[in-house]
Amino acid sequence: MKYSYDKESLKTWLLKNIDALLERQTFQALIVEVKVAEDANNTFVNKAGHDEVGKLGRIETKFTNYVKKGHMMRINSAGDNKRNGFDFIRIIDGINERIFQIPHDIYYSRAGFYGNEFCWSSSYNKTDKVQVNNTNLLLEHEITEY
């Protein structure tokens, strides 16, 4: 097998395969984490518990573009496993193009979890009564600019 893992080879491969890679949610989520840190004038660090550091402190970013059965959206690895690892959690809904930013203590005092999963209504309760408490928590902390 030929070694083709230097930066130039990887860049060439990436450019040829970018569309297929963007179909993978984990790849897209990583790009979103890096870009949103830059957009917020923060430093992307990708540490355990948070993705960026800036004037608000440590921020954990979670991105989703998937609707589960039952009209629910979810982020994974966002429960007790992240407790005390961030000052704010930023949740980015890639389906409805919305952004939310919740302070750590409010998130952990009010959010309901299923293991380490945080779920909410994909319609933001306009057409359902799914995950009302979590949905309201998000809506109270929306930072999307229109």
List phi, psi (to 5°) of 100: -130, 145
**Average pLDDT along the chain:** 96
Instruction: With a cut of 90, say whether residue 146 has pLDDT above it.
Output: no
- Residue 71, Ramachandran bin (φ over 0: left; ψ between -120 and 50: alpha; else beta): left
Residue 124 sits in which domain range? 7-140
Secondary structure (3-state) at 103: strand
> Is residue 63 included in any domain, yes or no?
yes
> Does residue 2 lie in a domain region?
no
1: in domain: no
**Contact of 86 with 49, CB cutoff 8 Å:** yes
pLDDT at 58: 98
**pLDDT range class, residue 20, cuts 50, 70, 90:** very high
pLDDT tens digits, residue range 82-114?
999 999 999 999 999 999 999 999 999 999 999
Any idea of the CA torsion for 80, 82, 84, 90, to the nearest 10 degrees? -120
d(CA 26, CA 136): 26
Element containing residue 91 per DSSP (H, E): strand 88-93
pLDDT at 65: 93
Report the CATH number at residue 71.
Answer: 3.40.1350
Burial status of residue 112 (CB atoms within 10 A of its CB: 0-12, 13-18, 19 or more) = middle
In the chain, the number of structural domains is 1
Q: With 90 as the cut, is the pLDDT of residue 25 above it?
A: no
43 lies in a domain? yes
Mind listing the pLDDT tens digit for each residue in 118-140? 999 999 999 999 999 999 999 99
Percent over 90 (pLDDT), the chain: 93
One DSSP character per residue, 50-81 reads EEEEETTEEEEEEEE--EETTTEEEESS-SGG
Q: Is residue 27 part of a domain?
A: yes
The share of the chain scoring above pLDDT 70, in percent, equals: 100
